[in-house]
Every structure is written in C-alpha cells, then in structure tokens.
Structure 1
C-alpha cells in the first residue's frame, strides 16, 4: 500500500521540489496539497507535473478532510504549529520541515503526539551534510567545553535562529552547556553583541544576500580551534532525499523526535 501524504507548502521552494520527487515514486502518493495562492487548482497544473493530480487547498484544515497517512509541514512558522496539531487530531503522522518553531511549540506538539499515539519527526535540515554536522558536533562537545554557533541565511528569512541552528543548539545542550571565560553579565560594552543564549550556548544569526542556508559551529581550546560547517547552494535538491526518507520512516515513531538521524543508522 502506498503512503498517502498531504503536503502543506507544496508550491514553495522546497515543497515544490519534494512534490515533483514524490511524483516519481511508486510508494508515496500525494492526496492533497496546501498553498493559499493556488487553491482550487490541480497541483500538477501549477507545477507542470501531470502526475500530481491532487487538489490544492487554501488551508491545512480543508486539505486534511482528505484521508492521509502523513502530513508534511513546509509552510511558515506562524502557521506550522496549528497545522501540525490539526494533523495529529486527524490521526496523521507528521514530518515538520518548517523552521522557526520555539521550544515551547515543540513541547506542546510533543504532548499532542504522545496523546495521539502518532509520530512527529521535526527536521531542521534534511541535507545529509547538515545531519553529519550535527553528529560530528555532538562528538566534539563531549571533549571541548567552549563553542559558539553561527547561523547564516538569506536576507529575506524572517525567523532567527534557523530551525537547523535551533536543532543543533538543542542537541548540544543535552550534552552540556558551553562554558564562557567571561560571563555575559561581565561583558563590557553591549552584551547583546555576544549573541543570544540558547540552550546554554551563544548563537549568532547572520541574514545577508548571497546566502541560502549555512551553519557553523566553532569549538575553541587553548592554541587550537575546530570549525564544522555546512553550506547549502541555491537548489532545493539536497533536501529531497532526506524528506522522502522521513515520510517513509515517520510512521514507525511515536511522540516527537528531532533530527533526521532519528531514522538513520549513523552509529
């Protein structure tokens, strides 16, 4: 039996690439799509892919009237939580690709997922190089006590830090808090220039033209430094394979899981 998917954000930069990839699979079928501006049209007509025959709806609530196994959230932070909770209420498993959700948002989603007995897989970045950055950084944090995260994105990205940076901070924070030689309260000048304290470490967000997505974590020890960095190009293709994998694996989960490595074997 194919996996029936409702894709929210189906005409966006990443969502449209995922939709086109789903059209080429034998085991995943799009049963509904969400894209306000294209509502009422067939997704295939909007994307120029005739194999995508599902209808586009203006809201997730409308799209979820069509039965599906997995709801894929690829919209905006101000809509994402409500969409995810609605999908869980309908009995769907959920994959979250939208960035900008807070730790409080995820706590609420975790409670709802557990109550529904459904899996939610929240992935800040579906690219394999980003997944490996997270794993390598976790190893480094066990041996090096001081580090800071730098999050880069295009100038039009409204949320900061990115979902990728939030996910990394959450993971490293479970290992330990990053030490500061000079406490923030002892900073001379403008303490805010030291970045935001998130999950026990400093996080800096840069928003400039010329970037798509990049993430850097810098570890420091006396007379030595380790930098681990992920850079993404302008194409959405690096995220497609990971997104398809998430769709195929999320039904084996219960509750909230963060990071694509939740369904990968990287040990």
Structure 2
C-alpha cells in the first residue's frame, strides 16, 4: 500500500507530540500537516528536534485540510471539540483516527453514519495501549464466571473527563458477558455524595486524578473467599505508539465506524 498522508490535530499536546515523533521517525507515512491552537506559525519539527522539511503548525483544521491532500487525520484534542473535528474530517472524505475521549453512544451513531455516507473510516480508540486492550479482553472473559466487579481508573491531573473512555469501554464489555448487573443487595448510605463512584449499568467506576500518573486501570472482581484483580499501567506515552501505528496500518482498509483497538488486532 502506498504511503499515507497524515495530519495530526492537537499536535502540541503530550500525546500529539508523541504521535508526530512516531510518524516521522517510525513509519513510512508522510506528516503533511499539524494543527494546534498553541505555537501557531512555528515549525513542529524544529520544536521537537525532528529531521526533514518544515511542517508549520496551523490553528484552523478546515483551512489546513483545504490546503493539502490528506488521507488520515489523527485527533488528540479535547472532548469539547472532538465531535466538531470528526464531523469536519469525515465530511471532507478523510479517514479519522481518534484518541480523544468523551465520545458518547449517540456520538458513535452519528460518526458511523457520517463515515458510511462518505465512504471512509472512523477509528475511535479509547486506549491505544495494546496491554490495556488485553486487560479489557481478560476482564470481559472473567465476567462469564464472576459477577461482582468494580473499576478504578487513575490518570494524570490534566485529564478533564471522568470516567476515562477506557473505563467506560471496559464496563460495556463486562456487561455484555455478565449474567446479571445486580450486585451489593443492600441499601447503601453515602455519607459523602459520590463516595461509591459513578454507576455504569451496575458497575461502580472510581476515577483518580493525580500528578505523576499517566494512565492506569484496575478491574477488581470479588466473590466468596477470593478476589481477582486485572491491572494495566502505562508509565509513559510511548506505550500508546504501537497502537497508533497499528491503527495507521489498518485504517485504509476499513469503511464505517470501528470502536476499540481490539477490533483491528489480528
């Protein structure tokens, strides 16, 4: 397959920077554009000490894609703007790989329709770490045998949405396999509202936000006399890059919506 022409949206964020480095250093694909509200007008390659001709940071996504031929947009922006970015990309016939979280079930239905209508792909990936994908798969398998479960997700203190997309996706996978979503058959009293976490169809999700963390999740099952903990830790953002490269390899062969990296694992 010919090399792909890639634009990174949110290129100056911490994940965006890692994606830019990966495309330039570790793929045969071409970085043709970068967008970010920060550092507009500067050369992203100079900022990140990368080789090759300059790629100037632009502040407007629509203007950027109108100037050049783009095969794929990789979006790592914010929940507040991600749907606007997705709709803009898909409507212009560009494949989307999205790591930004905060996308709802209603959003996914809209994304699927837009992608199909425009004959392109939308890969919505709550977590690009392959270890995290396996954690979710193992948690879903355990749900066939154990019913009582809670999720603790821990992220850096700059993450604005809670719970994480990974936690939401994990709960969905567990509930698909669980015999029942009923657990803790007592009338609980929360002395502090929210102390028992959020509720996703019977699964409690607890969100922790602290400096020093990157992305971590525990799925804890409990039953009489025993417990099972399935945990994944990302210690740096490079842990997500093999998943980004996998998505880049797969996206051009897909039409419509794909939700979750596990769907493109061989």
Please, what TM-score do these two structures have when normalized by structure 1? 0.91
> Does structure 1 retain, via aligned residues, the 8 Å contact 2:132–2:232?
yes
Q: Output one character per residue of 1:30-81: Cα deviation in whole Å (capped at 9) or x when no partner.
A: 1111111222222212222132632321022222212211111111111111
Any gaps of 5 or more consecutive residues in structure 2? Answer: none
* Aligned residue number for residue 70 of structure 1: 72
- Which whole-Å CA distance do the structure 2 matches of 1:4 and 1:199 have between them? 41
- Secondary structure at the residue paired with 2:194? helix
CA 1:135–1:207: 2 relative to 1, 3 Å: same
* Aligned residue number for residue 146 of structure 2: 144
RMSD of Structure 2 on Structure 1 (CA): 1.8
Q: Does 1:174 align with 2:181?
A: no
Q: Output one character per residue of 1:199-246: Cα deviation in whole Å (capped at 9) or x when no partner.
A: 44211111123321111111111111110011121x211111110110
- Which whole-Å CA distance do the structure 2 matches of 1:157 and 1:189 have between them? 26
CA 1:171–1:52: 2 relative to 1, 3 Å: farther
- Which whole-Å CA distance do the structure 2 matches of 1:259 and 1:56 have between them? 29
* Aligned residue number for residue 3 of structure 1: 4
Match of 2:96 among 90, 94, 97: 94
- Which whole-Å CA distance do the structure 2 matches of 1:153 and 1:26 have between them? 28
* Aligned residue number for residue 157 of structure 2: 155
CA-CA distance at 1:260 after TM superposition: 1.1
Q: Output one character per residue of 1:97-140: Cα deviation in whole Å (capped at 9) or x when no partner.
A: 11222233223222222222221111111112111101111111
Please, what TM-score do these two structures have when normalized by structure 2? 0.91
* Aligned residue number for residue 192 of structure 1: 194
> What is the count of residue pairs matched by the alignment?
262
- Secondary structure at the residue paired with 1:136? helix
- Runs of 4+ in structure 1 off by over 6 angstroms are none
- Secondary structure at the residue paired with 2:38? helix
* Aligned residue number for residue 218 of structure 2: 216
> Does structure 2 retain, via aligned residues, the 8 Å contact 1:33–1:57?
yes
